[in-house]
Structure 1
């Protein structure tokens, strides 16, 4: 699928992996709408890349429909969806005080990361049912974001790992169902990447995290994630698969 001139939606696109993806798609000629909860970062980044920003909670069904309506009214029917919106709340199941993790803490992470991704992709794809193809074969592409934690979840990552494991698990059945629509579905499972969340850590901690990556022996960069998104969109045979983008890292238990 040729990105030039297509409308694209990037959730979590205000910064981090989503921000890099939004910028790369815009550079390739896409008309990008950023969906994010942070209006300051989102608005500034959208302005910088010549895109559009809409404040959105991806778990809100009505708000997602309204955001897709607004984006379509401005840029036309979106053909590319990249789900990068997500949260993490590290915590052990049984805390130091001996109490179990509140169910609401677990549910919140799974709801944002997994249910939010499903909410976006289902409503995005439904809009492509009557659309004509882009090029000879396909109508759209969905790229979800999982994590190596889906496979190598560490102690304290139970809610995050469960949410990302759910994204991995739904990749193939969603791709199989959407095949009739001509919509491809892929998932990227990144390793340790330089993101705003990691940016709050001391440099020695960042160096230690980067040293865990076999090769290249460093943290991943957002544009490397975005480059894979760009290739997925361009390559029509990439469908129904999860790609680990991790420099061969396998996470230790803690």
Structure 2
């Protein structure tokens, strides 16, 4: 797909981190970008800087996502690109014993469900609604392409650590649904791929002490550093621009394989 001013895109989680970097990279190509996020102040700022539009969206709610797509399409027209970066995490063991009291607790199911609702079902909700919109577009090019989507999983989908049962399940679900969704949409000319980032320089890690950040960097085989959001954005754009890229799940992690903790 050729990325230029004739193309509209939606980036969920686009107010910061990987999503912000991708929104900026798309805009640099001339693409009209809509940012879906709950961080209104940051989202409005990024949208203003890239000439895009901000839509305050909660990906766990149908009506919120519908309103976001309606606003984005009113401003830019039907999107041909969707990048799903909205996500969250928690760290809770399946069951654990208090070191002091010996009290045994299990993972609260509402906390497990919260991660699944955002990372997995929220991603699918945006995919399904965007795909339905893309299907109204005229196909372009020799092979009749209508759109391209990029999802965000995590290396935790394959190397889940202690306390990551919910997070790994949600990201594993994103990986698991990539190929069947690509097959669902193949006759409509819509491609779907997923990136599995490793340890990246994001707002979540920015507040960590230097010694912790240094240890994380040292755990990466090569290069021994945190991944940069612009590297995620570069791979996302490659997936979108390369027409033969479809149904793939690609690790972007400096060859790291996560230890149990």
Q: Same fold (TM over 0.5)?
A: yes
Deviation per CA, 1:181-211, whole angstroms, max 9, x where unpaired? 1000000000000000011101111111011
Q: Deviations over 1:10-59 (max 9, x none)?
A: 00000000010000000011100000011011111111111110110011
Identify which range, 115-124 or 66-75, moves more after superposition.
Answer: 66-75
Q: Which residues of structure 1 form unaligned runs of 5+?
A: none
The Cα of 1:135 is off from its aligned counterpart by: 2.8
The answer to whether 1:158 aligns with 2:159 is no
Aligned to 1:4: 4
- Partner-residue secondary structure (3-state), 1:99: strand
Cα deviation, residue 92, structure 1: 1.1
Tell me how far apart the structure 2 counterparts of residues 171 and 40 of structure 1 sit (CA, whole Å). Answer: 32
1:69 aligns with 70
SS at match of 1:78: coil
User: How many Å separate the matches in 2 of 1:121 and 1:145?
Assistant: 12
Q: Which runs of 5+ in 2 are unaligned?
A: 99-103
CA deviation digits over 1:194-236, x for unaligned, max 9? Answer: 0000111011111110111111111000000000011111100
SS of 1:13 mapped into structure 2: coil
User: Which deviates more from structure 2 when the two are superposed, residues 175-184 or residues 124-133?
Assistant: 124-133
Alignment RMSD, CA only?
Answer: 0.8
1:59 and 1:138 map into 2 onto residues whose CA distance is 29
Q: Is 1:116 paired with 2:117?
A: no
Question: Do the aligned residues in 2 keep the contact of 1:186 with 1:241 (CA within 8 Å)?
Answer: yes
| 2:250 counterpart (240, 243, 251) | 243
The answer for the alignment partner of 1:106 in structure 2 is 112
The alignment covers a number of residue pairs equal to: 254
8 Å contact 1:134–1:140 — kept in the other structure?
no
Name the CA distance, whole Å, in 2 between partners of 1:202 and 1:248. Answer: 24
Q: Deviations over 1:122-174 (max 9, x none)?
A: 00001122310133331000100000000000001111000000000000000
* Residue of 173, 176, 179 corresponding to 1:172: 179
- Alignment TM-score, normalising by the size of structure 2: 0.96
Counterpart in 1 of 2:227? 220
After superposition, residues 23-42 of structure 1 pair within 5 angstroms as 23-42=24-43
- Does the 8 Å CA contact 1:32/1:52 hold for their aligned counterparts? yes
TM-score (norm 1): 0.98
The runs of at least 4 aligned residues of structure 1 exceeding 4 Å deviation read none
Give the Cα separation in 1 of the matches to 2:10 and 2:159: 29
Distance in structure 1 (CA, Å) of the matches to 2:194 and 2:140: 21
1:78-157 correspondence to structure 2 within 5 Å: 78-97=79-98, 98-136=104-142, 137-157=144-164
